[in-house]
Amino acid sequence: MVIHISEHGQNIVYRPIRPSDREALEAMHAALFPIRYEPEFFLNVVNGHDIVSWAAVDRSRPDGNDDEIIGFVTVRVMIATENEIGDILGYGSSRTNQTLVYILTLGVAEQYRNLGIASSLVQEVIKYASSLPECKAVYLHVIDYNESAILFYKKMNFRCLRRLPSFYYINSQHFDAYLYVYYVNGGRSPQSALDFVVAVTTYLRGIFTSWATRLWKREQKIPGWSKCKKATSFFNLNRMIKSTNNRGCQHV
Ligand SMILES: CC(C)(COP(=O)(O)OP(=O)(O)OC[C@H]1O[C@@H](n2cnc3c(N)ncnc32)[C@H](O)[C@@H]1OP(=O)(O)O)[C@@H](O)C(=O)NCCC(=O)NCCS
């Protein structure tokens, strides 16, 4: 159990979710999310079947409900190779038992927002994921219009990896989702290799450009016919540099 005294004096405690939390948990999910969750989901959460969870409660509540959930996070450990997200994250083809922690739901009651409660809950998740040696990342989906959640994950240093078109289907309408990820235990973005190639290309382009400029300056001093011939090859060279630049832009 973790205890945090907030700036506003509340004594916020973080503990696992238990069977007695079921009603409050269902009510919070109904109030906070546009998706309806099956009763089975709540049973699994409160009984810890395949789902790990943390609740935040306010021990300093004057109304006596000092064990009532005011915030929660639920997660599931996924085997990277059994999950299509494993491919996106670059772990799908791995033969090892690498895992990923998926944040299923996260929420904080409105009157307790902006006190750092979700930050503490997600820190618990990151700590948990880091404690699993095979775990490479924590990830989640967020609906594209949920700006406060998007700002929250950015603040927590999650990285937006992809926009997934029509990921959600809610009330007969499609919505895009963003896939956010936080790497742990040396997990790395599949784009790291690409970033490396782009960096090397940029470096080589710099050398190439300065070499071409020096060559051009030298050519200014060479007699007429020779200068003309070389000027044609510089033109080609310049075109090559420009096309390299264009390709570079597409990657950035
Ligand atoms: C998203 C949510 C969980 C954040 O909970 P919270 O306890 O208020 O978050 P924190 O206090 O830990 O916020 C940390 C940071 O997130 C960002 N943030 C959170 N809410 C924000 C908002 N409404 N507007 C702008 N930034 C926000 C800020 O950068 C904040 O840091 P700051 O206080 O230094 O500015 C909460 O708004 C919520 O329950 N929303 C409804 C359910 C939901 O959308 N869940 C996420 C589904 S993926």
Q: What is the pLDDT of residues 99-157, one digit of tens each?
A: 999 999 999 999 999 999 999 999 999 999 999 999 999 999 999 999 999 999 999 99
Task: Give 33 Cα–ligand 1 centroid separation in angstroms.
Answer: 14
Task: From 135, 149, 212, 213, select the one nearest 180 (Cα to Cα).
Answer: 149
pLDDT in tens, 11-69: 999 999 999 999 999 999 999 999 999 999 999 999 999 999 999 999 999 898 999 99
Range with lowest mean pLDDT among 9-23, 159-173, 185-199: 185-199
Instruction: Point out which residues pair with 175 in neighbouring strands.
Output: 168
**Residue whose CB lies within 8 A of the most ligand 1 atoms, among 8, 75, 152, for a mutation test:** 152
- Rounded Cα gap, residues 66 and 51, in angstroms: 24
Instruction: Point out which residues pair with 159 in neighbouring strands.
Output: 181
Most confident of 91-100, 125-134, 242-251: 125-134
Q: Is the pTM of this model over 0.85?
A: no
148 lines ligand 1 (CB under 6 A): yes
Main-chain dihedrals φ then ψ at residue 96, nearest 5 degrees = -85, 180
116 lines ligand 1 (CB under 6 A): yes
